[in-house]
Amino acid sequence: KNMMVHQLAEAANVKPELIVEAADILGRKVYFSTVLTDFGFLCEIVKKLGLRRKLEGGGKTFEKTLLADKDECRSPKPHDMSSFPHRPPIITIMGHVDHGKTTLLDYLRKTTVAEKEAGGITQKIGAFSVKLNEEKNITFLDTPGHAAFTAMRQRGAQLTDIVVLVVAADDGIMEQTEESIRMANESKVPIIVAINKCDSKNAKPEKVIKQLVHHNLEPEKAGGKTQVIQISAKTGMGISNLVESILLEAEMMDLRADPSARVEGVIVESNKSKTHGPVGSVVVQQGILKRGMWLTAGTAFARVKFITDENNKQMSEASPGAAVNIVGWKSLPPVGEIMLQVNTEFRAKEVTQYRSKLQSMEQLDEDWKKISKIRQKEKEMYVEMKMKGLRKQQSRFLLNEKSNSLFTTTHDVPQLNIIVKADVEGSLDAIMQVLKTYDCTDLCELNVISSGVGGMTENDLISAKAFSGSIILFNQSASEEQLKSATRHSVPVQQFDVIYHLVDHLKETLEDLIEERD
């Protein structure tokens, strides 16, 4: 297991100086010949340098790969891609809420998703391809605001080639428009602006164009570099121009992929199907995806049983740029995770088990931070109580899920303990992102005891009861029996199918708690 700095560098195909630098940042001085005996520290370096992908894509186990078994290691992408065939561009539509993202996607897909979705909010993450002719395709990611984009960035996946920024002509640039611009710029993804709702009486596209100039998005017509197209997602006006612009931008970017490489892609949606078990939607980035292949994505792995397109039609294979569903996952592949092909079942298991190990190490780290925070809080409370000598002490048990140990702690802010269950990873991600912003104010505390994909279980009820918490179901219904059981245990169960209703409900409950306390 022990290896020297230069051996690690060789296995990862990087300069040893980089490893020395990373170690330095992590607070340790090492030399090329230093033996790395501390496995945790080694993992830190690997994480710091983003080497995980490089090391795990091929080869034997992680440790064995480190021992320079280079034959099976992922080959670095060639600098000259010009001999490879073109691939479809992958587009993310971003913009402020209600500016017409769903309607536009919908028009492009020629279905009526916007009308069917509760409250009109886009809640599921997926992708679909628009076929223009035999040769030209565009792949659109179906994202709820920024959630997917952020999830992917956090996991180091870069999937989007071009951002189509939707700005309503009657509303102009708003907060989330600015956020979208910032995110696209940070990821160095070019932006095409679609000024939407140009059919509306209140449309002021000229005003929007002026605003765009202030955000460094000067239209080509005015001598700038950005393609700005006026459209109506409702009537379809200008959408063919938008599609042309996308193709033009893609052509300039000269997007190509190696079809003979090991398959790589990104998970864009995952859910449990009653008939097929865990299903992962994926956008292929390189290689030709075929049935029977072994794949890994985070801690999940699959043997490709079959591949379907967005209309559930079976396909024999999928090339780079294609968006497809894969049936055959042994567990839910995490949204935003990079998907890599491996040679054998043995290897798939090794890689995913190793990642689980790494994850539990990270989890331990998180737990430790949480415990330290609680201890710190306890200390402060103790001092405060001594000073006032009056305040009543409330005890509470925090059950640490991983280690099953109990920590006693004291708090004097009202707490709301909840368990969140949602239909798909995409919704859950979106909800958790919103909830994060309500966490840990001085006046109250929102604790998410646990969260997951699927319906309410007996375990959820037991934990909710233990924490005097409630269960929040999103796009999930509970049976008559379950509801009765919840009533017996005095566990409130709330069901929602619109994210902002859920958030409003939590806000109200927290406010009530604060009032009760006052």
- Residue 102 interacting with ligand GDP (CB under 6 A): yes
Binds ligand GDP by CB under 6 A, chosen from 92, 103, 160, 285: 103
Cα dihedral 288, 294, 299, 305 sign: positive
Nearer to ligand GDP, 424 or 453 (CB): 424
Select from 278, 260, 268 the least CA-distant residue to 322: 268
- Residue 120 interacting with ligand GDP (CB under 6 A): yes
| Residue 220 and residue 248 in contact, taking contact as beta carbons nearer than 8 Å | no
- Residue 421 interacting with ligand GDP (CB under 6 A): no
Report the nearest approach of ligand GDP to the CB of residue 125 (Å): 13
Strand order in the sheet with 126-131: 126-131, 137-142, 90-95, 162-168, 191-196, 228-230
- Residue 463 interacting with ligand GDP (CB under 6 A): no
Nearer to ligand GDP, 52 or 96 (CB): 96
Report the nearest approach of ligand GDP to the CB of residue 118 (Å): 12
Nearer to ligand GDP, 107 or 467 (CB): 107
The pair of structure tokens assigned to 89 is 């561009």
Helix (H) or strand (E) holding 154: helix 147-154
- Distance (Å, rounded) from C-alpha 152 to C-alpha 476? 25
**Segment 485-504, which members bind ligand GDP (CB under 6 A)?**
none
How far the first Cα of the chain sits from its last, in Å, is 58
Angle, alpha carbons 39-40-41 (nearest 5°): 90
- Distance (Å, rounded) from C-alpha 162 to C-alpha 254? 12
- Residue 98 interacting with ligand GDP (CB under 6 A): yes
**Segment 199-218, which members bind ligand GDP (CB under 6 A)?**
199-200
Binding segment for ligand GDP (CB under 6 A), chosen from 230-238, 243-251, 306-314, 396-404, is: 230-238
Identify the DSSP state of 426.
H
- Residue 124 interacting with ligand GDP (CB under 6 A): no
Binding segment for ligand GDP (CB under 6 A), chosen from 182-190, 227-235, 387-395, 430-438, is: 227-235
Report the nearest approach of ligand GDP to the CB of residue 104 (Å): 7
For the chain, helix, strand, coil in percent to 5 are 40, 25, 35
Task: Identify the burial level of 35 via C-beta atoms within 10 angstroms of its C-beta, where 0-12 means exposed, 13-18 middle and 19 or more buried.
Answer: exposed
Binds ligand GDP by CB under 6 A, chosen from 136, 234, 262, 411: 234
- Distance (Å, rounded) from C-alpha 74 to C-alpha 64? 14
Report the nearest approach of ligand GDP to the CB of residue 152 (Å): 19
| Residue 319 and residue 288 in contact, taking contact as beta carbons nearer than 8 Å | yes
- Residue 232 interacting with ligand GDP (CB under 6 A): yes
Binding segment for ligand GDP (CB under 6 A), chosen from 196-204, 239-247, 358-366, 476-484, is: 196-204
- Residue 113 interacting with ligand GDP (CB under 6 A): no
Report the nearest approach of ligand GDP to the CB of residue 231 (Å): 7
- Residue 101 interacting with ligand GDP (CB under 6 A): yes
Select from 273, 264, 416, 253 the least CA-distant residue to 342: 264
- Distance (Å, rounded) from C-alpha 20 to C-alpha 38? 15
Strands (E), 57-112: 90-95
- Distance (Å, rounded) from C-alpha 434 to C-alpha 500? 9
Mask for 44-83, x = binds ligand GDP (CB under 6 A): ----------------------------------------
Nearer to ligand GDP, 102 or 137 (CB): 102
Nearer to ligand GDP, 165 or 209 (CB): 165
Binding segment for ligand GDP (CB under 6 A), chosen from 23-31, 90-98, 252-260, 345-353, is: 90-98
Identify the DSSP state of 451.
E
Residues that bind ligand GDP (CB under 6 A): 95, 97-103, 114, 120, 122, 196-197, 199-200, 232-234
